[in-house]
Copies of this chain bind each other. A is one copy, B any other.
Amino acid sequence: MARARLTRELIVEAAATLLTESTDDITLAQLGEVLGVDPTAFYRHFRDKDALMRAVSDRILSAVTVDLPPPASDWRATVVEICRRLRAAHVGNPRLAELVRSGPPLNRNEFDLTERLLVELRAAGLKPKAATMAYHALIELTVGSAAIDAALAAEPPDARRQTYERWRSAYRLLDPAEYPTSVRLAGQLYQGDAEQRFQFALDCLLDGIAGHVPGSARST
């Protein structure tokens, strides 16, 4: 109805909105409807759906590196903050992780994010080789964790709690003779929310990474 001129900008914005509103894949038909335009009009602005999705991913990653504390003030806190934001961006957009899988987006915001992580890891005292290995480790945990948790995160909180409870009872109801430890620890599985579990994992990983700083207690 309120037809405006179709631009890449408008398409990306509409796609990003659709993406956050649902777990499902975006459809070009949906996109056309939202924009009040023929479903195929979009081919005048993007090569194909994949190109659109990459543009959307750039837009979503733009939130990750804004307004961070000054470089090297507290490397660990900054790394945690970046990873939290990166995870949130992916969790809020379930379909995004699929794109990252096929390779780094190699766009503006992704370069900013990489630079900043590498700066902090170097500031922590890691040597070049260890810094890049730590960078990869952080990305794999963060993006991987988001990919796993995204589907459930899209559901409302109590549906989520119900699902966790369902999974817990699946373990609780196993044969105690065959699965004694699972049965005993069933109540502890999937405790808290996925974000807290990620924080624990990230803390452990950073403890281990800190051990690679020359002169640290654990370094070889």
Q: Is there a chain B Cβ closer than 8 Å to A119's Cβ?
A: yes
Q: Which residues of B contact A179 (CB under 8 A)?
A: 111, 115
Q: Which of A26-44 contact B (CB under 8 A)?
A: none
A22 at the interface (CB under 8 A from B): no
Please give, as numbers and ranges, the residues of chain B lying within 8 Å of A180 by CB-CB distance.
115
A contact set with B: CB distance below 8 Å: 97, 100-104, 106, 111, 114-115, 118-119, 122, 128-129, 131-137, 139-141, 143-152, 163, 167, 170-171, 174, 178-182, 184-185, 188-191, 197-198, 200-201, 203-209, 211-212, 217-218
28 A-B residue pairs with Cβ-Cβ distance under 8 Å, sorted by A, are A102-B152, A103-B167, A104-B167, A115-B179, A115-B181, A118-B181, A122-B181, A131-B188, A132-B185, A132-B191, A134-B204, A135-B189, A136-B189, A136-B201, A137-B204, A140-B141, A140-B149, A141-B201, A143-B148, A144-B146, A203-B208, A204-B207, A204-B212, A205-B208, A206-B208, A207-B218, A208-B208, A217-B217
